[in-house]
Amino acid sequence: MHSREPVPVMVKRLPGNDDLPLPAYATTGAAGMDVVSAEDIDLAPGARHAVATGLAMAIPDGFEIQVRPRSGLALKHGVTVPNTPGTIDSDYRGELKVIMINLGAETFSIRRGDRVAQLVLAPVTQASWLEVETLDDTARGTGGFGSTGGLAALPG
């Protein structure tokens, strides 16, 4: 079991954004914090835009913030985050922007203060490479895309 103690993350409201709420959890069991737009934008079908949040932050070393779509926007309007999850690294200090895409059939209006994405604070483990001549064998072997079966192979 891991600790449920909050990890402090320093956040700075950029000029002109004092009226916007800080990212917040909607419920006590929520994994993601809702973050809001700092701008008005009409996102045409097929269009992408980096939506400003008016926030910059200092994420603690050993952590990242993952930017994830809001399920309601994706289901009801086809509006999502295309690089899911997006990663905000601990050494980035610029404005947090959420890349959004409209996969729906109609223009989608985002207004200042609208919830546009979720932010999840997550631990990061960095890898170190150990170059070898051979790898161990597994039952799967080199089977790649679709090699474990299609939908019919999934248990009902």
69 C-beta neighbours (distance < 10 Å), count: 22
At 12 the pLDDT is 98
Give residue limits of the domains in the chain.
10-125
Q: What pLDDT score was predicted for residue 155?
A: 64
Distances (CA, A) of 95 to 10, 98, 134, 139, 146: 13, 10, 44, 46, 39
**Contact between 117 and 111 (Cβ < 8 Å):** no
Q: pLDDT confidence of 144, banded at 50, 70, 90?
A: confident
74: helix, strand or coil: helix
CA–CA separation, 45 vs 40, rounded Å? 16
- The band of 140, judged by pLDDT with boundaries at 50, 70 and 90, is confident
- pLDDT of 32-65, one tens digit each? 999 999 999 999 999 999 999 999 999 999 999 9
Cα(73)–Cα(79) distance, integer angstroms: 5
* 8 A C-beta contact, residue 130 and residue 108: no
How high is the pLDDT of residue 141? Answer: 83
Q: Which carries the bigger pLDDT value, residue 147 or residue 92?
A: 92
Structure tokens at 21: 């709420």
CA 75 to chain centre: 16
Residue-wise pLDDT tens digits, 60-90? 999 999 999 999 999 999 999 999 999 999 9
Q: What token pair was written down for 131?
A: 């170059």
Alpha helices (H) along 8-150 = 71-77
pLDDT band at 4 (very low <50, low <70, confident <90, very high): confident
For the domain made up of 10-125, the CATH class stated in words is mainly beta
